[in-house]
Structure 1
Amino acid sequence: MTTIKDIANRAGVSTTTVSNVIHGKTKKVSPATIELIEKLIQEMGYVQKLGLNVLNNTSSRMIALVIHAHRKYENSIISDPFYGKIIGFIEEKLQMQGYYIMLYSTDDVNKVFHTVMAWNIDGVVALSFSRNDCNKIWSLIHKPVISIDAYGSSQGSPFVTNIGLDDFTGGSRMIEYILGCGYHDIFVCATSDYGIDQTRWNGAREMFARLTEKNSSKKIRFINIGETTLTRESFYQQLIRRIPFPQKTAVFFLSDFYAIEAISYLATRGVCIPADIGIAGFDDITYARLTVPRLTTIHQDMEKKAELAVSELLKAIENPAAYTGKEALLDVILIARDSI
């Protein structure tokens, strides 16, 4: 096992210098030395055994809940009610089985490796990472990994189970409902054009094509509304300037968070929803039923998603040699309220 002394010898510096870099005390260390030490830490596979020092046990009974740190979040990622709710369910299910969670947010899978090894984590639940990232996490740590809402290539790892949602059907069901309510033009909005948002958009687009005639004047359009409040509010202002629309128009946000933000912005500026414009969302977070008007959305069972993830993780922990990864997609339900 690589020690601080080994790294110091290779770098030609003192063990104190190496320790300072590891603990972020780098004010008196040159950038070149920091870079060299960090490179050697990676190359030599050094990991602090903090968890073992604290727990001194073969099993820590700790699970790392790792959340992909999306760029779209201007504040903490767990300020999104969707993440707050699913984290709560996972923690509850694990606690019932005598496990504890370590919550960690990052977009760097190498940092996941260091955290898992340092604290002797028993397993990982990876939330909203790509399938490639989930596979890489498993290949680095060789401990049970369960992903939730992994995106990207459908070819998963034989060792990583993904608990996801039938996002394609969710997108198509909402478009079917909106068209059935007499809407002519539809904007489909998200903060990204890849991953789960892409899958939901694909479902929406396919259903629109199926239900409208080839030469129909009805229109559907995808709009990336941006990653900041400023860019999103610019889009909402554009909507206000176009009211009244020449045809009955709806906006389908691929996340309730932004649908609710839009309702708040538009309503406080005199826009009547759904008379002036229809608004729909996706996820059915708690606040969806508290807006005025109440939000029409696609419901997903987040408690069931957490329950399945924990169940699969415990199976993998109990018998890792026999465990085989799989793909589980939960169904969606359209919730018709008042905003469409």
Structure 2
Amino acid sequence: RWHRRQGCFFHYGNLNYYSSINITLSGFWLILFYFFTKVQLSQRLNLERLIEEYLQGIEELIIIPHGYLHNIPFAALPISETEFLIDKFRIRHAPSCQILKFCQDRKPVVNVTYGTVEDADGSLPGARLEGQKVAQLFDISEKNRLIGEEQSTVTEYRQLAKRIQALHSSHHANSRLDNPLESALKLANGRITLGELLLWRLDDLEEVFLSCCETNLGVAESTDDVLTLASGFLCAGARGVISSLWVADDFVSNSLSTFYYQLRKEGKSRSAALQQAQQKLRNTTGEELAQLLRSDLKPYKDYLEQRFKKANTKWKTLVSNLKSLKLWIVKVKIIKIVKKRKIDGGTELKNT
């Protein structure tokens, strides 16, 4: 069924109409990209017909997917040769109707204090740059910035999330499709798993930007609800979360978040700021992006050289170890072949 309310458009109820695509996707989420182009997905979802018949005059969509439809990047689905769904609508997602109601029933926070968690293990220079830009835009105090391996601990992260209203979290994370409760944010001295996050209460948290990998990647099994790090923050009390479906590039994430926060600073809503930031990033050429990064990364020249030198040393060690392992495997194979020949030869002699 379709329902119109407050200028937004909802779909809820039985999704048997889309059962064919849901069954098709049930093997594994990456099947989206191996067997279907985005154009084919748009056709299977009948986007053109839905827009024509039901979505005229609508500016914002709230999408509550069913099953494996949670793993479709709706914003990137084409609706014509030159337009994507994000070009026509502001888009918001919710894991379920219950969580959507829970978020909407909360009173918005008036005075917002920002905090950042940046480059928790020291391996993401773009994440550190992200945090610096957010801090400059919103005048974030040093006590509300957790930077690098010394500060970005599990305890400090939780304390920060409790005392601020907007959290920008930029570091490593991973999704466990085989065990969703073990999906985790990776920090300097450990992890914060989804199972732990679901026990937190963050009643003052207005917004979370998870500039990390796979924070909205999950699998729906026995219920329609998908357990992800993003939904964990919503259940803990956050009114809104920006998250990723897959592995996020360090410097591209930096550019997207910069565009987003500049628009938020201008007074745009979350959905409008994200829509315009995605469009701006899509329309930015590689050369323009490289030029932006060159100027941004100048202060980090010494830091980057040190990190790349360290990474190069690790790479050389890894290659050396792999070569040694390969030689060891070859030796083992030769020994096995020699032994087998001796055994076979002895058996033949005995039989003779």
Band of TM-score, shorter chain: under 0.3
| Greater helix content | 2
Q: Which of 1 and 2 has higher RCO (CA within 8 Å, sep 6+)?
A: 1
| Greater strand content | 1
TM-score w.r.t. length of structure 2: 0.27
TM-score w.r.t. length of structure 1: 0.28
